[in-house]
Structures are given as structure tokens and as C-alpha cells.
């Protein structure tokens, strides 16, 4: 039994190494995904190009503009412009924000009167617009306090936990780790089994004394190991290149990833029982994966989804793994808070793996 | 001593009867050939013997184990070479062999000894690093045979192993089969080549899932009924068409000439007029002894 499993495992590794497409997929996928999503899909809002229309032209108004552009959020190095130009700049996407300081700004301030300044934001991207408005509010409040020497009675002492700088990459990398492990194990398992069917070797295997159990183990263990390797590459790059903090236990992350593998390997096996060609297997895997990733909270928070979809996400095993990986990596979560996710992964893992195991055994008998 | 016993095998695919009450046995130390046209049921029989398909009724026993019940006990005794090349094209010759050896539980040392023997008879030694996908047709078949041999099975089932293989490789392949026979294995093989039947110990003619005739090549030749004549003219399709219009005789292409069969005790002289009418000189026709192919054609024609 052990010898046959080892023989099968060795063969699987050889085949992965021989197949240049497979090799590219295995080693380039984590790197490309990480850099693509880590940089391109960044939701951080920085360096907002800002048009300034200063009708006051006073020392105080210039000081306000300076304080706005002091941080790395707003860039106001464009020369002062007219309102007309500002509007055209918006349509040409040269500006995302326009600041309008009315005449009498400094006078009213010195007379301790209320002043209104205008801030227009390009609302095309709702997310970045609201973030820009938030920044402007904070900066204006600080300017108020400095100029008037008066703080309003109630101020919010804000503290962002787990990700103080609000770096989106801290959030994306754990998500990428979870999706990578899902994709690669599902894809490799389903395609490797279907390939044997395609070239007729599966039938040849049936004539050898290999048992269904040995066949399943020999066909899944190699891909579980490759999955762990992928995950480690992504984690290594995440920690060293993107410098994301790792708050929790590495051991727990790997242990719970192992638990989650029963679901992905089982699904891969299931896909192999309903596909006759590698193309079919690949297509079905993507089909399953897209659904799983979209409703896992990887990009959009589940709480933002319509209620009916939210209920549906409970049927998505990746949802629990996504929460687990982010919980461990970002919040340092341990088993006592993760147990609902763990329970769900145990139930999904056992159900899917057993179902696929039985279905696969029946197909090869 | 018979090691494979197939009795009253039935296999249907929907309304199509692939195997119809088929029985045969194969003995140790003999080559048994199944021959018949495409779709005759050879592959279905082989796959049933190798436990790869369920059959409707009948019994298959190998070394007194029932295939449908004790297949696990049969597997170590069985070597199967399917019709299509079913090895890993991206693995080398040696890796393929080593993989199958591993599945049968051979240890490294056992494999190294076995490997030497297999390379010796197959001539694959110099190509041991070549990917299986890059081998020639003949070498692929030798590798497939080697993989099926790695665990010293007692029963070999080979489904058209020489189809599409060049004549020299075919001969070498049959030399290997003869060696295996000498070692006491039972070899069940199907082939579309009649000349290979002459190398077999026993031959079964199969047509539409039924056994038409069985015996040694010599016995089967004796089963020919009627006379065989050879017409030394090229079997053009126009000529064959004209010949087949003559009632009472059957004409078949036979290499570069035509074989004409008469029924029962009738002789070709009775048809000279008919032949002359389509422009064939009866002097070109000579009586010949029936060959196995003639018998085969006759059985398939009925």
C-alpha cells in the first residue's frame, strides 16, 4: 500500500515537473497573483490630484491649502485655476478633487465667524470619493483647532485595529493565500485524474493491484504538498516583500489549511468524476472557483451583499477559510474564536471528501 | 492445463449484443488468437476478462478465481495490454517501467534485475531515457508489453498489439510472445493479421460476438468447404464487381491476385463460360490449396 502510494506520488511529481504549462501555473501563479492583487487591486487612496481655486488669496487660505497637501493624500502642486478649468479637469480626469476657498475666508476666520469652503469630489469611484472626503474632514478639523485654538467638546479618538495604516495589501495577501490554495489543489487534482482517463492509463491502473484508497491518496497528497508550497511562497513574499505583519500562529494557519484541503481536494476529485477531458475539468474548476471566490469576502465584504446572497455564502466553504486565514494573519485569532469556522470546515471537508471518495471509487471499480 | 475459463459470456450495450454466448479457455504455454472484423466483440471479451467491464451473464475464471468476485486475487496474475497506447508519454521508458513495478510492489533491487531482462528482449535499453511519447510505434508497443510484463504475470491479454506496427517490429514482437509461451504463460491475443495466426497454437474466429470456428491453424484450414482457385489478375474493383455477379462462386482479393471459391464439389470448369463472358481467360486460373485466410474469409462470409 505505502509502496504503491509512493510510486504514484513520485510519478505525479515527475509529471508536474515535465509539464512546462503546469510548472508555470504552479510557480508563476502565486507570484503574479500576489503582485497583481497586491499592487494593482490596492484600494488605498493616496496622491489625489487636487485643483485649488483660491478666491481669498490670503496667507491663511494658503496655509490651509498647505496643510491639506502636507500629507501624502492630496497633491495641490497644480497652479491656481478658475472654476471653469476645474470642471473641465474633472471630465478629463486630471483632477479628482477641487477645493474652492471663497473670498473673505481669512477675514471671517479672524472675526470668528463661520466659514464655508467648497470641496468637490469626482464621485465616479464611490469608494475613493468617500475616503478622500474623510481625509479632508480630518485635516480641516485639525486646521480649525490650530487656528482658533478651540477644540469642539466631542471629538472622536479613532483607532484602527489590526491594520493601523489601512494598508489594503495587508488585507489582500491573506485573501490571495486562501484563493491560491483553493485554486491550485482543485485544479491539479481534477486535471491529473482526468488526464489519466484521457490517455487511457486510468484503465491500465485498474488492472494493477492498486486499491481505490491508494489511488486517491497517491493522487491527492502530491497536490496537497504543492498547494502548501504555493501557499508558503505567497506567505514568504507577503512577509518579506510586502512586509505584512503576521499576528497569529503559523502552525495553526497550516493546520487549518490542511483541514480545508479536504474540501478542495474532494471538489477536485468530484470534478474529475464528471469530466471526460482536461478542458472540461479546467472549465468546471474555474466555474466553481469564481463562485467560491466572489462570495468568500475576498474583494467585497459579505455584509455588503444582498441578504439572500449573504445566506448563500454560508454554503461556500471558502468563506470560512477566508475568515480563518485573515483572522490568523491579521488579528492573531486562535481556535477559541475560530471554532465556528473550523466546525464548518470540518463538516464541509468530511462531506465533500467522503462523497467524492465514494463516487470516485465507484467510477474506477 | 487451462488457466482461463470463459463460459457463456454475454455482453450487451443497449440493444447491441457485443458478445453473444461466448465460451473459450486458454491454457498455460499456449498462444490463443482471436480474429474477426472490427466490432466483432474481441475488445469487449478482453476487457471483461481483465475485469474492466461488467458483463450481463456468464462466468470468467482465471486460475479458478472468479473475475467478478475475486478480481483482486487475479490482478497479480494478469498482464493486460490495451488496444490504444496507454502509458505516460511525458515519462521516460524507464520511469514508466519503474512506475508499474512500483504499483506491483517491486523493490528497487527486484526492479533493476527485471529491467535488465526486459531491456534484453525488447531492445529498449538504449532508449531508456527517451520519453515514451517520442518512441516509434513498434517501440511503444514493446514498452507497453514490458510494462505489462514487469510483474511476471501468468496470463497475458493483448488487444491488437501489432496493429499499425511495421513488419519487422511485428516479427520481433511475436518472437517475444513465443518466448513467453516457452516460459509457460497463457497468451490471449487479438490480431487483424492472418499471417500472425499461423504462429498461434489455437485460433478462434469471431464474428458479431459469436464464435464461428476454433482450432489449431491446421485444423481450421481443413474446415474449408469447396475448392480454391487463384486467378492471376490484379483485383481491380471493376473486375471484382464483375466476378461477384457470377452466381455460384465467391471471389475475394488475395494480395495481388484473386481467389475464387466454388461450393461443395463444384469445380471452376462449370463457370468457364461465365468467366470468358467478362473477358477472363480461364487459363489464368489454377487450383490452389486453401490457406487459413481462405477459411477465415469463408467463415466471415457465411
CATH of the domain at B250: 3.30.70
Q: How far is CA A115 from the centre of its chain?
A: 42
pLDDT of residue A258: 97
Neighbouring-strand partners of residue A208: none
Q: Residues B162-220: pLDDT tens digits?
A: 888 888 888 888 998 999 999 999 999 998 888 888 889 999 999 998 999 999 999 99
Task: Using an 8 Å CB-CB cutoff, list chain B residues near A278.
Answer: none
Q: Residues B179-191: pLDDT tens digits?
A: 999 999 999 999 8
Q: Are residues B121 and B185 in the same domain?
A: yes
Task: Using an 8 Å CB-CB cutoff, list chain A residues near B104.
Answer: 208-209
pLDDT of residue A288: 93
Could you identify the residue written with the cell 448563500? A312
CA–CA dist A26, A15 (Å, integer): 12
Interface test mutation site (partner B, options A208, A219, A365, max chain B beta carbons within 10 A): A208
Assembly ipTM: 0.79
Number of domains in chain B: 2
Q: Are residues B171 and B280 in the same domain?
A: no
Q: A203 and B52: CB-CB below 8 Å?
A: yes
pLDDT, chain B, mean: 89
Collapsing DSSP to helix, strand or coil, B36 comes out as: coil
CA–CA dist B13, B19 (Å, integer): 9
Chains A, B: CB contacts within 8 A come to 68
- Domain hosting residue B277, numbered range: 225-301
pLDDT of residue A79: 64
Looking at chain B, which residue has its C-alpha nearest residue A17?
B90
Q: Are residues B241 and B211 in the same domain?
A: no
Beta strands in A113-234 (DSSP E): 118-121
> Block means of pLDDT (10 residues each) for chain A, length 365 residues?
89 89 81 83 77 87 87 76 80 86 88 86 83 87 82 78 82 91 93 90 87 91 94 92 92 97 96 93 94 90 89 94 95 93 97 95 75
Nearest CB neighbour to B90, from listed A3, A4, A19: A19
Q: Are residues B63 and B156 in the same domain?
A: yes
CA–CA dist A116, A160 (Å, integer): 29
Å between A11 CA and nearest CA of chain B: 7
Task: Using an 8 Å CB-CB cutoff, list chain A residues near B140.
Answer: none
CA nearest to B111, candidates A163, A96, A10, A325: A10
Contact criterion met (CB below 8 Å) for A344 and A317: yes
Which of B221, B254, B276 delimits the end of a domain?
B221
Which of B188, B203, B221 delimits the end of a domain?
B221
Nearest CB neighbour to B72, from listed A15, A19, A209: A209
Q: Are residues B276 and B203 in the same domain?
A: no
CA–CA dist A258, B142 (Å, integer): 43
Å between B171 CA and nearest CA of chain A: 25
Quick check: A11 contacting B, CB < 8 Å?
yes
Interface test mutation site (partner B, options A12, A22, A207, max chain B beta carbons within 10 A): A207
Hey, what's the torsion of the CAs at A214, A217, A221, A222, to 10 degrees? 50
Nearest CB neighbour to B104, from listed A201, A203, A208: A208
Interface test mutation site (partner A, options B70, B87, B88, max chain A beta carbons within 10 A): B88
All structural domains of chain A with their residue ranges:
2-41+168-364, 48-148
Which of B221, B252, B279 delimits the end of a domain?
B221
Task: Using an 8 Å CB-CB cutoff, list chain A residues near B100.
Answer: 208
Q: What residues contact residue A66 under an 8 Å CB cut-off, 6+ apart? A: none
CA–CA dist A208, B100 (Å, integer): 8
Q: B88 and A11: CB-CB below 8 Å?
A: yes
Q: Are residues B83 and B232 in the same domain?
A: no
Å between B92 CA and nearest CA of chain A: 10
pLDDT, chain A, mean: 88
CATH of the domain at B174: 3.40.50.300
CA–CA dist A30, A176 (Å, integer): 8
Task: Using an 8 Å CB-CB cutoff, list chain A residues near B156.
Answer: none
Neighbouring-strand partners of residue B205: B35, B213
Å between A334 CA and nearest CA of chain B: 42
Query: A11-29 burial, b for 16+ CB within 10 Å, e for fewer?
Result: bbebbbebbeebeebbeeb
Quick check: A213 contacting B, CB < 8 Å?
no
Angstrom distances, CA of residue A174 to CA of A35, A228, A253, B266? 13, 14, 11, 90
Angstrom distances, CA of residue A9 to CA of A6, A206, A362, B126, B284? 5, 17, 22, 27, 67
Looking at A37-167, list the stretches that DSSP marks H as alpha helix, in order from N- to C-terminal side.
59-70, 83-91, 105-110, 126-148
The C-alpha angle B88, B92, B93, rounded to 5 degrees, equals 90
Task: Using an 8 Å CB-CB cutoff, list chain A residues near B52.
Answer: 203, 206-207
pLDDT of residue A359: 93
Q: Are residues B125 and B156 in the same domain?
A: yes
Hey, what's the torsion of the CAs at A288, A289, A292, A296, to 10 degrees? 180
CA nearest to A15, candidates A236, A271, A195: A195
Å between A20 CA and nearest CA of chain B: 11
pLDDT of residue B86: 86
Q: Residues B95-131: pLDDT tens digits?
A: 999 999 999 888 899 999 999 989 988 889 999 999 9
Quick check: A207 contacting B, CB < 8 Å?
yes
Q: Are residues B276 and B208 in the same domain?
A: no
- Cell numbers at A80, concatenated: 491656481
Nearest CB neighbour to A209, from listed B75, B84, B98: B75
Q: Are residues B113 and B168 in the same domain?
A: yes
Q: Which CATH class is domain A48-148?
A: alpha beta
Task: Using an 8 Å CB-CB cutoff, list chain A residues near B91.
Answer: 11, 14-15, 18
Q: Which band of pLDDT confidence, cut at 50, 70 and 90, is reported for residue B302?
A: low
Contact criterion met (CB below 8 Å) for B246 and B235: no
- Cell numbers at A272, concatenated: 474529475
Q: Are residues B160 and B291 in the same domain?
A: no
Å between A73 CA and nearest CA of chain B: 55
CA nearest to A215, candidates B37, B94, B103: B103
Q: Residues B46-91: pLDDT tens digits?
A: 999 998 888 999 999 999 899 888 888 898 899 999 988 889 999 9
Q: Are residues B100 and B182 in the same domain?
A: yes
Looking at chain A, which residue has its C-alpha nearest residue B144?
A204
Q: Are residues B124 and B257 in the same domain?
A: no
Task: Using an 8 Å CB-CB cutoff, list chain B residues near A204.
Answer: 80, 82, 86-87, 147
Amino acid at each position: 500500500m505505502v509502496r504503491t502510494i509512493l510510486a504514484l506520488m513520485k510519478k505525479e511529481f515527475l509529471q508536474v515537473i515535465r509539464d512546462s504549462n503546469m510548472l508555470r501555473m504552479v510557480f508563476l501563479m502565486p507570484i503574479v497573483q500576489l503582485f497583481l492583487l497586491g499592487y494593482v487591486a490596492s484600494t488605498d487612496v493616496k496622491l489625489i490630484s487636487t485643483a485649488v481655486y483660491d478666491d481669498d488669496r490670503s496667507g491663511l487660505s494658503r496655509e490651509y491649502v498647505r496643510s491639506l497637501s502636507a500629507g501624502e493624500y492630496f497633491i495641490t502642486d497644480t497652479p491656481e485655476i478658475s472654476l471653469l478649468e476645474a470642471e473641465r479637469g474633472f471630465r478629463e480626469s486630471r483632477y479628482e478633487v477641487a477645493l474652492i476657498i471663497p473670498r473673505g475666508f481669512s477675514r471671517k476666520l479672524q472675526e470668528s465667524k463661520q466659514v464655508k469652503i467648497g470641496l468637490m469630489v469626482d464621485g465616479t469611484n464611490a469608494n475613493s470619493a468617500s475616503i478622500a472626503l474623510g481625509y479632508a474632514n480630518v485635516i480641516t478639523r485639525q486646521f480649525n483647532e490650530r487656528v482658533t485654538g478651540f477644540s469642539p467638546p466631542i471629538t472622536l479618538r479613532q483607532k484602527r485595529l489590526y491594520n493601523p495604516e489601512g494598508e489594503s495589501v495587508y488585507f489582500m495577501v491573506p485573501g490571495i493565500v486562501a484563493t491560491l490554495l483553493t485554486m491550485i489543489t482543485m485544479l491539479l487534482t481534477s486535471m491529473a485524474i482526468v488526464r489519466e482517463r484521457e490517455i487511457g492509463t486510468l484503465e491500465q491502473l485498474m488492472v494493477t493491484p492498486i486499491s481505490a484508497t491508494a489511488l486517491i491518496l497517491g493522487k491527492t497528497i502530491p497536490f496537497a504538498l504543492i498547494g502548501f508550497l504555493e501557499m508558503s511562497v505567497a506567505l514568504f513574499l507577503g512577509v518579506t516583500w510586502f512586509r505584512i505583519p503576521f499576528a497569529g500562529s503559523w502552525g495553526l494557519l497550516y493546520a487549518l489549511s490542511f483541514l480545508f484541503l479536504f474540501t478542495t481536494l474532494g471538489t477536485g476529485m468530484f470534478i474529475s468524476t464528471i469530466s471526460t477531458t482536461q478542458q472540461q475539468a479546467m472549465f468546471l474548476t474555474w466555474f466553481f472557483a469564481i463562485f467560491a471566490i466572489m462570495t468568500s469576502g475576498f474583494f467585497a465584504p459579505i455584509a455588503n451583499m444582498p441578504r439572500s446572497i449573504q445566506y448563500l455564502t454560508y454554503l461556500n466553504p471558502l468563506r470560512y477559510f477566508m475568515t480563518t486565514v485573515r483572522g490568523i494573519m491579521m488579528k492573531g485569532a486562535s481556535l477559541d474564536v475560530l471554532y465556528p469556522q473550523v466546525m464548518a470546515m470540518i463538516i464541509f471537508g468530511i462531506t465533500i471528501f467522503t462523497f467524492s471518495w465514494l463516487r470516485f471509487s465507484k467510477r474506477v471499480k | 492445463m487451462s488457466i482461463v475459463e470463459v463460459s457463456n459470456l454475454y455482453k450487451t450495450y443497449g440493444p447491441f449484443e457485443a458478445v453473444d454466448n461466448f465460451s473459450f479457455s486458454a491454457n498455460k504455454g499456449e498462444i490463443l488468437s482471436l480474429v474477426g472484423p472490427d466490432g466483432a466483440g474481441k475488445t469487449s471479451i478482453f476487457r471483461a476478462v481483465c475485469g474492466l467491464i461488467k458483463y450481463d451473464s456468464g462466468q470468467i475464471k482465471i486460475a479458478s478465481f472468479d473475475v467478478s468476485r475475486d478480481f483482486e486475487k487475479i490482478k497479480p496474475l494478469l498482464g493486460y495490454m490495451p488496444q490504444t497506447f496507454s502509458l505516460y508519454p511525458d515519462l521516460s521508458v524507464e520511469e514508466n517501467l519503474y512506475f508499474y513495478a512500483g504499483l506491483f510492489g517491486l523493490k528497487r533491487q527486484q526492479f533493476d534485475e527485471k529491467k535488465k531482462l526486459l531491456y534484453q528482449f525488447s531492445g529498449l535499453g538504449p532508449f531508456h531515457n527517451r520519453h515514451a511519447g517520442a518512441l516509434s510505434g513498434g517501440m511503444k508497443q514493446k514498452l507497453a508489453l514490458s510494462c505489462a510484463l514487469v510483474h511476471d504475470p501468468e496470463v497475458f491479454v493483448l488487444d491488437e498489439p501489432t496493429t499499425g506496427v511495421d513488419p519487422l517490429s511485428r516479427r520481433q514482437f511475436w518472437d517475444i510472445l513465443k518466448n513467453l509461451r516457452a516460459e509457460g504463460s497463457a497468451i490471449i491475443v487479438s490480431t487483424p493479421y492472418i499471417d500472425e495466426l499461423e504462429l498461434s497454437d489455437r485460433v478462434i474466429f469471431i464474428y458479431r460476438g459469436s464464435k464461428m470456428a476454433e482450432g489449431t491453424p491446421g485444423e481450421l484450414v481443413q474446415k474449408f468447404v469447396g475448392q480454391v482457385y487463384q486467378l492471376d489478375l490484379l483485383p481491380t474493383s471493376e473486375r471484382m464487381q464483375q466476378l461477384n455477379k457470377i452466381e455460384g462462386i465467391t471471389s475475394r482479393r488475395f494480395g495481388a491476385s484473386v481467389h475464387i471459391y466454388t461450393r461443395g464439389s463444384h469445380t471452376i470448369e462449370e463457370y468457364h463460360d461465365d468467366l470468358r463472358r467478362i473477358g477472363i481467360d480461364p487459363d489464368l486460373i489454377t487450383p490452389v490449396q486453401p490457406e487459413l485466410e481462405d477459411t477465415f474469409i469463408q467463415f466471415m462470409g457465411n
